[in-house]
């Protein structure tokens, strides 16, 4: 049996290279199951803070005769330094993901690749990746169930990102879809601003304008 993933997890799975994988916050283990079943990974360690979720992941693997390890724990605590090639974290908030990565950095844990898809605050994840000295190799947006999600993949190496790249994506300046999202948000928030003043909203509108101007300027060079 091969599980069908939604658009978001399909995009995440496509970024995983053959090798060992830790699926952090694995929920019911569907991504790990898919990676093993499609041979995108030769081993998977599924972790979660919920024993109930891990129990369902174990059952899924057992029923389909797949060797997927499960470990109970918070974030990357159950994973040893360099134990896997790729760490996948999808479906958590960006503040939570950045905290998981920061704690692992504080414990001197290193991994070759991260594949990350935060629900919110992707900018916090990018800032932590820069601090980790991980090079962002892929940074895009996928639409799933009417929502937009960032999907990021990294390699070991440095990324130097300006404030607009941290906020909107490492490659937003050459991504017409992301530029259209920025323009869409700008138009919407300018409409709200026309009705009532808000310092926070004014600051956001200014950031959106500058991000678009910065992209146009570089693309004209």
Using only C-alpha atoms, what is the Rg of the chain?
Answer: 19
Its pTM surpasses 0.85: yes
Write the CA distances from 27 to 126, 183, 191, 201, integer angstroms. 24, 35, 40, 36
Q: Has residue 136 been placed in a domain?
A: yes
CATH of the domain at 92: 3.40.50.150
* 34 in a structural domain: yes
**Which of 130, 160, 190 is the C-terminal boundary of a domain?**
160
| Residue 68 within any structural domain of the chain | yes
Residue 2 lies in a domain: no
152/193 same-domain check:
no
Among the candidates 128, 160, 192, a domain finishes at: 160
Q: Is 103 exposed, middle or buried (0-12, 13-18, 19+ CB in 10 A)?
A: middle
Residue 221: the pLDDT is 61
Give residue-wise pLDDT tens across range 12-65: 999 998 899 999 999 889 999 999 999 999 999 999 999 998 999 999 888 888
Domain count across the chain = 2
Final residue belonging to a domain, choices 108, 129, 160: 160
Q: In this structure, are 122 and 181 located in the same domain?
A: no
165 lies in a domain? Answer: no
What pLDDT, on the 0 to 100 scale, is given for residue 65?
A: 87
167-196: per-residue pLDDT in tens?
999 999 999 999 999 999 999 999 999 998
Range of the domain at 186: 176-220
Residues 109-149 pLDDT 10s: 999 999 999 999 999 999 999 999 899 999 999 999 999 99
The edge-to-edge listing of strands for the beta sheet with 86-90 is: 68-72, 43-48, 20-24, 86-90, 113-117, 147-156, 134-144
């Amino acid at each position: 049996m091969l599980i069908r993933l939604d658009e978001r997890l399909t995009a995440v799975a496509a970024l995983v290279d053959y090798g060992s994988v830790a699926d952090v916050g694995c929920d019911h283990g569907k991504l790990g199951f898919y990676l093993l079943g499609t041979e995108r990974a030769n081993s998977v360690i599924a972790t979660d803070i919920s024993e109930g979720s891990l129990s369902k992941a174990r059952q899924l693997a057992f029923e389909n005769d797949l060797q997927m390890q499960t470990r109970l724990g918070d974030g990357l605590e159950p994973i040893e330094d360099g134990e896997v090639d790729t760490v996948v974290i999808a479906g958590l908030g960006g503040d939570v993901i950045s905290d998981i990565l920061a704690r692992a950095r504080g414990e001197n844990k290193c991994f070759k690749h991260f594949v990350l898809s935060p629900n919110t605050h992707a900018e916090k994840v990018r800032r932590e990746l820069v601090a980790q000295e991980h090079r962002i190799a892929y940074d895009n947006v996928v639409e799933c169930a009417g929502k937009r999600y960032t999907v990021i993949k990294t390699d070991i190496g440095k990324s130097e990102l300006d404030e607009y790249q941290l906020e909107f994506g490492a490659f937003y300046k050459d991504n017409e879809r992301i530029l259209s999202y920025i323009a869409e948000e700008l138009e919407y928030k300018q409409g709200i601003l026309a009705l009532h003043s808000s310092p926070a909203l004014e600051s956001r509108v200014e950031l959106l304008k500058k991000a678009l101007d910065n992209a146009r300027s570089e693309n004209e060079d």
